[in-house]
Amino acid sequence: MSVETSRSVILLRHAKADWPQVSDHDRPLADRGRKEAPSAGARIETLGLTPELALCSTAVRARETWRLAVPELSKRPRTVYEDRLYEASLGELIALLNETPDEVADLLVVGHNPGMHALADALAGDADGDVLARMRRTGFPTAALAVVTFTGGWKSVEHGVGTLTEYWTPTQV
């Protein structure tokens, strides 16, 4: 696959989590989150996106989100559970994207805020557009989904490299 290939990064924030007396990393999904997660998977399928690779945070709420979303996809991507996604900074998230093999055209990342919102915003850069304006206005609620497209290799991913082509939240169902 050429590095000039059109690529997509699909950013999915974990669904709504509960607040039991456990560590933050071990927080499970709330009832609302268990309803939101399949909707996010269905939206990915509706968009016709077929990620070859999914990077998922090791946090319980992120793993549960992915477990409930993936059955909605017609093709299950290879999944890597990535410790570095938990509490990742924007720079750490971009570094993870830079490590993606160029054989991967479409990548899905299941992570947390503020990282998912910051990454979508940074990759889209200063470009104007209704989708970007709506995301900036509404934030990045639980189970929100953003798709950023770009051309080039994963090692070239940096601020402003892409276009935010999709922004979806569960309230849009």
Residue from 143, 139, 108 nearest 34 by CA: 143
Sequence ranges of the domains in the chain:
6-172
The string of pLDDT tens digits covering residues 121-132 is 999 977 667 888
Burial class (CB in 10 A: 0-12, 13-18, 19+), 123: buried
| Residue of 52, 72, 87, 158 with catalytic role | 87
Q: Based on the residue annotation, tell me whether 112 is a catalytic residue of this protein.
A: no
The residues, any chain, with a CB within 8 Å of residue 133's CB and separated by 6 or more, are none
Q: Is residue 164's pLDDT more than 70?
A: yes
**Binding-site positions for substrate:** 61
117 is catalytic: no
Choosing from 14, 36, 112, 117, which is the catalytic residue? 14
Average pLDDT estimate for 47-51? 96
How does DSSP assign 103-162, residue by residue? Answer: T-SEEEEEE-TTHHHHHHHHHHTT---HHHHHHHHH---TT-EEEEEEES-GGG--TT-S
Topology (CATH level 3) of domain 6-172: Rossmann fold (3.40.50)
Coarse DSSP helix, strand, coil percentages of the chain, rounded to the nearest 5 percent:
40, 25, 40
Average pLDDT, the chain: 94
Q: Which two tokens stand for residue 165?
A: 């082509």
| Residues of the binding site | 61
3-state SS class at 84: helix
pTM (2 decimals)? 0.95
